[in-house]
Amino acid sequence: MNNRRFFTLQFLLILLFLSFVQQACATDVPVEVQAAVSARTDASHKLQLPIIDAAPAMQGVYIYFVMNTSDEPGYTKDNRPYMLDAHLLFADENHLWHDKLFDRYVKDDGIPGIATVFFANADHDSKEREVIILVRTPLNHYDYGGEYYDGYIYKLTGSAQKGAVFAGLQSDASAPFVDQCECSFRDGHSTHAQYKDAESIRKVLEKRYHATPKSK
């Protein structure tokens, strides 16, 4: 009986902690933005926190992520990969919401999640900052286990007020941070990911573009 009570209490504490974490992740996000995001999610498109205020890159723009389990063209139930969709959300000058899918992170051998999102100078225009999204995918394969790390850099262009914002993937700038594997293999060898957090990526960008990236 005491064991049952202990596990029940532990379970309730975990739920309370997760609820606190979700609220903390959305603390700086206006209620109307949270409502607009909620209206765009469903059983096949479940919100994956955090919701990001992209003001350091462009005022009035937010970024959110959904785990996409809907029926997508080109896939069957048996060969369907895991998909995490990245969206831009913004309101125009007439207060109409616009939603734009700007990328999809697809993995066959693990469920991708957001490790971190931050802003830094990632080109030679020091007046603007780009969006950096680090995707982490835990792996549990027969031949190997560990984690994938993929860092993607985007440049936002357009105007939220005019109802047109675009997120352009900066392929060259992203290249060092994509397809990293912190993995151990069944035959005994291992590989290591160099860039697993914001700090390590910032150092590379600072050196390459000779500007000191600032935290949000």
Q: Given the DSSP bridges, would you call strands 45-53 and 164-169 parallel, antiparallel or unpaired?
A: unpaired
* 155-170 pLDDT, tens digit each: 999 999 999 999 999 9
Name the pTM for this structure: 0.82
* 105-138 pLDDT, tens digit each: 999 888 999 999 999 999 888 788 999 999 999 9
* 48-83 pLDDT, tens digit each: 999 999 999 999 999 999 999 988 777 777 778 999
- By the 8 A CB rule, do 87 and 101 touch? yes
Residue 55 CB neighbours (<10 A): 14
More confident residue, 25 or 151: 151
Interatomic CA distance for residues 173 and 168, integer angstroms: 12
Average pLDDT, the chain: 86
